[in-house]
């Protein structure tokens, strides 16, 4: 085994790492035998045999340092105190080191250790439980959308073709990532708008077979049932106005999803997000999505919208419903929206668009006090930490629900964002800036 170290990633100094093999080791430390293992499960328990030789003071100093590291692992895992401790290893092929977080550690002596210690030599076993992978050093990602590509991307709260950069997404070309397992990423999302950001929905779409952009936004004015109304601030420059009878379920908007569109969607799960052009005037209106051909195929559970709502999340649905077999192309589907308005009589509803937020990876962030202008949301899948940064200081001021983001090596990963300000409005011109970093991940050292 080549060089091995124990330490943390929070301290930028190399002195934060304690070398236990093939490097600048403390007096009394001979080296460490370590045979990393790989197998199923989220963690691995392994034994590192640490060899010692020297005077009593040197041996005790090494043991004391190892015990201190064991205690730091315990404090982090049991109480959440301090920084995570990692095993840093240099792969046999050379190059940059890789890291595996320690979740548990204990130091054990071997039978007869006291007699060996008196002779100036001994060995101790450092038994560790670590995460079942090794991660590389952090690297910046190139992000792209219709506005261009670079180490940062600007996102609006819409996706239309009226102007370059009218995008609520960015994508990453993952075909060149040298990662065995899905690579953890760190997202930095800066509120570049003037209003505080109250909620943020982020959904990822990982596509290995195609680089074509899937259709994720259905414009309200594009539904055949709609009366299109021009509005410069709306997605697509217009919204759809619908007349709905209250007191019963009624289909009010529909869109045709052809076989090419459904093939790109690939049987994935999506979260439908409705954006209303004007606040709902009724309290307790119910909405649901319907998939059909000549007959209904799927109907989602009803979602209830409070009075004054500017957006509404429906229950997730699969497109195409039931998945996708490689044997045949998918049949076209009609996606319809149905509403049940509690008030009897004709009502008017104005819908800007419907966003299908992908769920390959998904996270929802809610900040009670809002994320203010120029403040940054940091979401790190490597450390599994999510916090905001304001004036150079971190604050745990939001709730996060969902899984951690990763980049599987393949063709492309698309990330879509839906922004809701602190007043509950999902305005199309709300904006965020995004930067991202990743770490390669491997299971076999």
How are the residues of the chain apportioned to helix, strand and coil, as percentages rounded to the nearest 5?
Answer: 10, 50, 40
Residue 12: predicted pLDDT: 85
Residue 44: predicted pLDDT: 97
**Residue 103 CA to its chain's centroid (Å):** 22
Q: Is the pLDDT of residue 77 over 70?
A: yes
Give yes or no for a contact between 154 and 170, defined as CB atoms under 8 angstroms apart.
Answer: no
Residue 116: predicted pLDDT: 58
pLDDT in tens, 86-95: 999 998 877 8
Q: Is the pLDDT of residue 120 over 90?
A: no
Alpha-carbon span 126 to 132, nearest angstrom: 17
Phi/psi for 254 (5° steps) reads: -150, 155
CA dihedral 421, 425, 430, 433 (to 10 degrees): 40
Mean pLDDT, the chain, as a whole number?
94
DSSP state, residue 54: S
Q: Which helix (H) or strand (E) holds 169?
A: strand 169-173
pLDDT in tens, 143-174: 999 999 999 999 999 999 999 999 999 999 99
Alpha-carbon span 414 to 81, nearest angstrom: 35
Count of C-beta atoms within a 10 Å radius of residue 94: 7
Token pair, residue 66, equals 């190892």
pLDDT in tens, 410-442: 889 999 999 999 999 999 999 999 999 999 999
Residues 6+ apart with CB under 8 A from 241: 226, 227, 228, 229, 348, 349, 350
Residue 95: predicted pLDDT: 82
pLDDT in tens, 232-277: 999 999 999 999 988 899 999 999 999 999 999 999 999 999 999 9
Give yes or no for a contact between 275 and 426, defined as CB atoms under 8 angstroms apart.
Answer: yes
SS3 140: strand
Residue 112: predicted pLDDT: 65
Q: Mean pLDDT throughout 182-203?
A: 97
β-bridge partners, 135: 99, 441
β-bridge partners, 100: 87
Phi/psi for 70 (5° steps) reads: -60, -40
Q: How confident is the model at residue 179 (pLDDT cuts 50, 70, 90)?
A: very high
Burial class (CB in 10 A: 0-12, 13-18, 19+), 423: exposed
Q: Is the pLDDT of residue 114 over 80?
A: no
- Percentage above 70 pLDDT, the chain: 98
For domain 139-442, is the CATH number 2.60.120.260?
Answer: yes
Supply the pTM of this predicted model: 0.92
Q: Mean pLDDT throughout 14-40?
A: 94
Q: How confident is the model at residue 125 (pLDDT cuts 50, 70, 90)?
A: very high
Q: Mean pLDDT throughout 333-340?
A: 97
The domains of the chain are located at: 4-132, 139-442
Give yes or no for a contact between 433 and 151, defined as CB atoms under 8 angstroms apart.
Answer: no
Give yes or no for a contact between 316 and 270, defined as CB atoms under 8 angstroms apart.
Answer: yes
Q: Is the pLDDT of residue 117 over 60?
A: no
Of residues 338 and 175, the one with the higher pLDDT is 338
β-bridge partners, 319: 268
Alpha-carbon span 151 to 7, nearest angstrom: 29
Phi/psi for 386 (5° steps) reads: -140, 125
Give yes or no for a contact between 440 and 184, defined as CB atoms under 8 angstroms apart.
Answer: no
Residues 6+ apart with CB under 8 A from 108: 124, 125, 126, 127
Instruction: Give CA angle at 239 (236, 241), nearest 5°.
Output: 160
DSSP string, 264-319: HHTTEEEEEEEEESS--SSSSEEEEEEEESSSEEEEPPPEEE-TT-SEEE---EEE
Least confident residue range of 95-104, 242-251, 322-331: 322-331
Contacts 24+ apart (CB under 8 A), 96-99: 96/136, 96/137, 97/3, 97/5, 97/136, 97/137, 98/134, 98/135, 98/136, 98/440, 98/442, 98/445, 99/9, 99/134, 99/135, 99/136
Q: Is the pLDDT of residue 113 over 70?
A: no
Q: How confident is the model at residue 142 (pLDDT cuts 50, 70, 90)?
A: very high
Q: How confident is the model at residue 115 (pLDDT cuts 50, 70, 90)?
A: low
């Amino acid at each position: 085994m080549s060089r091995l170290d124990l330490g943390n990633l929070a301290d930028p100094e190399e002195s934060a790492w304690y070398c236990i093999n093939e490097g600048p080791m403390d007096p009394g430390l001979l080296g460490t035998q370590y045979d990393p293992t790989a197998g199923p499960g989220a963690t691995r328990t392994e034994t590192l045999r640490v060899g010692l030789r020297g005077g009593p003071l040197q041996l005790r100093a090494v043991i004391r340092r190892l015990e201190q590291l064991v205690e730091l692992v315990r404090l982090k895992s049991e109480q959440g105190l301090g920084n995570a401790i990692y095993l840093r290893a240099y792969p046999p092929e050379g190059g940059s080191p890789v890291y595996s977080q320690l979740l548990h550690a204990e130091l054990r002596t071997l039978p007869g250790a006291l007699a060996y210690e008196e002779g100036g030599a001994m060995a101790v076993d450092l038994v560790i439980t670590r995460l079942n992978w090794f991660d590389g050093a952090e690297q910046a990602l190139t992000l792209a959308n219709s506005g261009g590509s670079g180490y940062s991307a600007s996102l609006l709260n819409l996706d239309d073709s009226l102007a370059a950069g009218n995008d609520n997404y960015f994508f990453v070309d993952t075909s060149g990532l040298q990662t065995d397992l899905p690579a953890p990423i760190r997202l930095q999302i800066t509120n570049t708008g003037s209003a505080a950001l109250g909620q943020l929905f982020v959904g990822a779409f990982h596509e290995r077979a195609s680089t074509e952009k899937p259709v994720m936004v259905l414009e309200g004015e594009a539904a055949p049932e709609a009366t299109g109304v021009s509005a410069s601030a709306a997605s697509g420059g217009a919204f759809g106005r619908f007349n709905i009878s209250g007191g019963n379920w009624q289909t009010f908007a529909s869109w045709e999803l052809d076989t090419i569109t459904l093939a790109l969607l690939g049987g994935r799960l999506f979260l439908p997000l409705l954006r209303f052009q004007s606040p709902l005037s009724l309290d307790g209106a119910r909405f649901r999505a319907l998939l059909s051909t000549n007959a209904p195929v799927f109907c989602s559970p009803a979602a209830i919208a409070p009075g004054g709502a500017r957006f509404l999340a429906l229950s997730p649905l699969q497109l195409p419903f039931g998945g996708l077999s490689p044997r045949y192309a998918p049949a076209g589907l009609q996606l319809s929206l149905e509403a049940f308005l509690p008030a009897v009589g004709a009502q008017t509803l104005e819908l800007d668009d419907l966003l299908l937020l992908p769920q390959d990876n998904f996270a929802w962030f809610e900040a009670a006090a809002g994320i203010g202008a120029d403040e940054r949301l940091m979401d790190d899948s490597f450390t599994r930490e999510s916090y905001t940064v304001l004036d150079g200081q971190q604050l745990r001021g939001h709730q996060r629900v969902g899984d951690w983001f990763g980049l599987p090596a393949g063709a492309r990963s698309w990330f879509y964002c839906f922004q809701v300000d602190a007043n509950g409005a999902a305005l199309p011109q709300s904006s965020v800036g995004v930067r991202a970093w990743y770490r390669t991940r491997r299971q076999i050292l």
